[in-house]
Chains A and B, each alone.
Chain A
Amino acid sequence: MHIDPEASTTSLLPAIELSGISVCYRVPRENLSSIKEFTIKWIKKDLKYEEFWALKNIDFSIFPGQVFGILGKNGAGKSTLLKVLARVLLPTSGRVIIRGQVFPLLELGGGFHPDLTGRENVFINGELLGIPRNEIKRRFDEIIDFSEIEEFIDAPIRTYSTGMITRLAFSVATCKRPDILLADEILSVGDVAFQEKCINRIKGFAGNGSTIILVSHSIQTVRSFCSQALWLDHGQIKYLGFAEDVAEHYQNYMHP
Chain B
Amino acid sequence: MDEIKPVYDSSLLKPSFIEEFLCLLRYRGLIPRLISRIITTRYKRSVLGLGWTMLNPLLTMIVMTIVFSALFSNSIDNYPIYLLSGLFTWNFFVNSTSNSMSEMLAGAIMSQRIYLPRSIFVFAAIGAELVNMLIAFIPLIIIMLFTGAKIGPALFVLPFSILLLLIFASGIGLILATIVLFFTDIVQIYNVLLMILMYSSPIMYPREIIPEKWRVMLWINPFTYMLDIIRPPIYNGIIPGPQAFLVSFLIAFITFLIGWFVFTSKVKEYAYRS
Question: Of all chain B residues, which has the CB nearest A16?
Answer: B8
9 A-B pairs besides A83-B112, A104-B113 with CB distance below 8 A are A6-B3, A9-B2, A35-B189, A83-B271, A88-B114, A113-B37, A116-B41, A128-B30, A179-B5
Q: Say whether A95 contacts B11, CB under 8 Å.
A: yes
Q: Say whether B41 contacts A115, CB under 8 Å.
A: yes
Instruction: State whether A35 and B183 are in contact (beta carbons under 8 Å apart), knowing that A11-B2, A115-B44 are contacts in the complex.
Output: yes
**Does B213 sit at the interface, judged by CB under 8 A?**
no
Question: Of all chain B residues, which has the CB nearest A9?
Answer: B2
Q: Say whether A127 contacts B29, CB under 8 Å.
A: yes
Q: Which of B153-198 contact A (CB under 8 A)?
A: 179, 182-186, 189
A97 to chain B, nearest CB (A): 5
- The size class of the interface chain B forms with chain A is 35 or more
Decide if the interface of chain A is mainly helix, strand, loop or mixed: loop
Among B40, B109, B115, B268, the most chain A Cβ lie within 10 Å of the Cβ of B115
**A34-B182 Cα distance, complex, nearest whole Å:** 8
Q: Which residues of B contact A127 (CB under 8 A)?
A: 29-30, 33
Question: Of all chain B residues, which has the CB nearest A18?
Answer: B10
Instruction: State whether A26 and B272 are in contact (beta carbons under 8 Å apart), knowing that A95-B11, A115-B45 are contacts in the complex.
Output: yes
Q: Say whether A110 contacts B37, CB under 8 Å.
A: no
Instruction: State whether A110 and B109 are in contact (beta carbons under 8 Å apart), knowing that A95-B9, A120-B40 are contacts in the complex.
Output: yes
Q: Say whether A99 contacts B5, CB under 8 Å.
A: yes
Q: How many pairs of A and B residues are in contact by the CB < 8 Å rule?
A: 109
Q: Mask for B1-24, Cβ within 8 A of A = 1, else 0?
A: 111011111110100000000000
Q: Which residues of A contact B116 (CB under 8 A)?
A: 128
Question: Of all chain A residues, which has the CB nearest B110?
Answer: A111
Question: Of all chain A residues, which has the CB nearest B269?
Answer: A26
Instruction: State whether A8 and B10 are in contact (beta carbons under 8 Å apart), knowing that A35-B185, A38-B183, A110-B110 are contacts in the complex.
Output: no
**A124-B27 Cα distance, complex, nearest whole Å:** 13
Instruction: State whether A33 and B44 are in contact (beta carbons under 8 Å apart), knowing that A88-B112, A91-B10, A95-B9 are contacts in the complex.
Output: no
Q: Which residues of B contact A23 (CB under 8 A)?
A: 272
Q: Mask for B194-208, Cβ within 8 A of A = 1, else 0?
A: 000000000000000
**A11-B27 Cα distance, complex, nearest whole Å:** 28
**Does B111 sit at the interface, judged by CB under 8 A?**
yes
Question: Of all chain A residues, which has the CB nearest B3?
Answer: A8
**A156-B41 Cα distance, complex, nearest whole Å:** 11
Q: Say whether B8 contacts A98, CB under 8 Å.
A: yes
Q: Say whether A113 contacts B41, CB under 8 Å.
A: yes
**A6-B182 Cα distance, complex, nearest whole Å:** 43
Q: Mask for B251-274, Cβ within 8 A of A = 1, else 0?
A: 000000000000000001001100
Instruction: State whether A35 and B186 are in contact (beta carbons under 8 Å apart), knowing that A26-B272, A123-B33 are contacts in the complex.
Output: yes
**Does A90 sit at the interface, judged by CB under 8 A?**
yes
**A201-B186 Cα distance, complex, nearest whole Å:** 46
B11 to chain A, nearest CB (A): 5
**Does A106 sit at the interface, judged by CB under 8 A?**
yes
Interface residues of A (CB under 8 A from B): 5-6, 8-9, 11, 23, 25-26, 32-36, 38, 83, 86-91, 94-102, 104, 106-107, 110-111, 113, 115-116, 120, 123-124, 127-130, 132-133, 156, 179
**A25-B30 Cα distance, complex, nearest whole Å:** 31
Q: Which residues of B contact A83 (CB under 8 A)?
A: 112-113, 271
**A76-B10 Cα distance, complex, nearest whole Å:** 23
Q: Say whether A96 contacts B10, CB under 8 Å.
A: yes
**A98-B114 Cα distance, complex, nearest whole Å:** 15
B8: contacting residue among A5, A96, A120, A133, CB under 8 A: A96
Q: Say whether A116 contacts B115, CB under 8 Å.
A: no
27 A–B contacts from the bound complex (CB under 8 Å):
A6-B3, A8-B1, A9-B1, A33-B182, A34-B183, A34-B184, A35-B186, A35-B189, A86-B115, A88-B111, A88-B112, A88-B114, A89-B271, A89-B272, A90-B13, A91-B10, A98-B8, A99-B8, A111-B110, A111-B114, A113-B41, A116-B41, A124-B34, A127-B30, A128-B30, A133-B29, A133-B33
Q: Which residues of A contact B189 (CB under 8 A)?
A: 35
Q: Which residues of B contact A115 (CB under 8 A)?
A: 41, 44-45
**A91-B13 Cα distance, complex, nearest whole Å:** 12
Q: Say whether B2 contacts A87, CB under 8 Å.
A: no
Among B45, B112, B179, the most chain A Cβ lie within 10 Å of the Cβ of B112
Question: Of all chain B residues, which has the CB nearest A92?
Answer: B272
Among A26, A32, A90, A132, the most chain B Cβ lie within 10 Å of the Cβ of A90
**A120-B41 Cα distance, complex, nearest whole Å:** 11
**A97-B271 Cα distance, complex, nearest whole Å:** 19
Instruction: State whether A102 and B115 are in contact (beta carbons under 8 Å apart), knowing that A95-B9, A128-B30 are contacts in the complex.
Output: yes
A30 to chain B, nearest CB (A): 14
Q: Which residues of B contact A98 (CB under 8 A)?
A: 7-9
A205 to chain B, nearest CB (A): 15
